[in-house]
């Protein structure tokens, strides 16, 4: 990438300093060099953006539930694919089908907390979390099913 910028820079210097003695020719050459430099930068930005997308493994925007999880304390005890204190989201998704009844039940579990389904460690209740938000979180969790 450095070589491209060096070559473009040298080309711009030659275009601005030498060659055609008319003002119009020099300006056109410099303009062409600037356009080439802009095109190279545009291509570099595209490559960086694509690489960043590939590095994260996902090009889709986060869901509403995923955004809500990021604002709460869920990630202290849960990860998508790894058991921490509580089960991984993928384990929960494997256990429960994405039915309206399960979404309602799991949303109420998030709000009221509890223990027993995944061991003796109690899940912290989230009584101030609106039920609609809890349902969005459950929908996201159930979407992580392998």
User: Which residues are documented as binding site for heme c?
Assistant: 74, 78, 123
18, β-bridge pairs:
none
pLDDT at residue 19 above 60?
A: no
Task: Check if the beta carbon of residue 111 is closer than 8 Å to that of residue 131.
Answer: yes
Q: What is the average per-residue pLDDT within 13-18? A: 50
Q: What is the pLDDT of residues 35-48, one digit of tens each?
A: 444 444 444 443 33
Dihedral angle at the C-alpha atoms of 68, 130, 122, 138, nearest 10 degrees? -50
**Total Cβ atoms within 10 A of residue 105:** 12
Q: What is the pLDDT of residues 113-134, one digit of tens each?
A: 988 888 889 999 999 999 999 9
Binding-site residue set? 74, 78, 123
pTM beyond cutoff 0.75? no
Confidence check: pLDDT of 34 > 60: no
Among 140, 47, 51, residue whose Cα is nearest residue 98: 140
């Amino acid at each position: 990438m450095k070589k491209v910028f060096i070559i473009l820079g040298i080309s711009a210097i030659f275009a601005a300093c030498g060659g055609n003695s008319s003002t119009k020719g020099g300006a056109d050459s410099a303009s062409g060099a600037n356009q080439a430099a802009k095109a190279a930068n545009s291509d570099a930005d595209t490559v960086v953006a694509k690489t960043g997308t590939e590095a994260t493994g996902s090009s889709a925007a986060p869901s509403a539930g995923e955004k809500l999880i990021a604002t709460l304390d869920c990630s202290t005890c849960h990860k998508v694919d790894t058991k921490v204190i509580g089960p991984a989201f993928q384990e929960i998704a494997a256990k429960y089908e994405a039915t309206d009844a399960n979404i309602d039940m799991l949303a109420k579990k998030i709000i009221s907390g509890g223990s027993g389904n995944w061991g003796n460690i109690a899940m912290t209740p989230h009584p101030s979390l609106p039920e609609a938000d809890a349902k969005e979180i459950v929908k996201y969790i159930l979407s992580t099913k392998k």
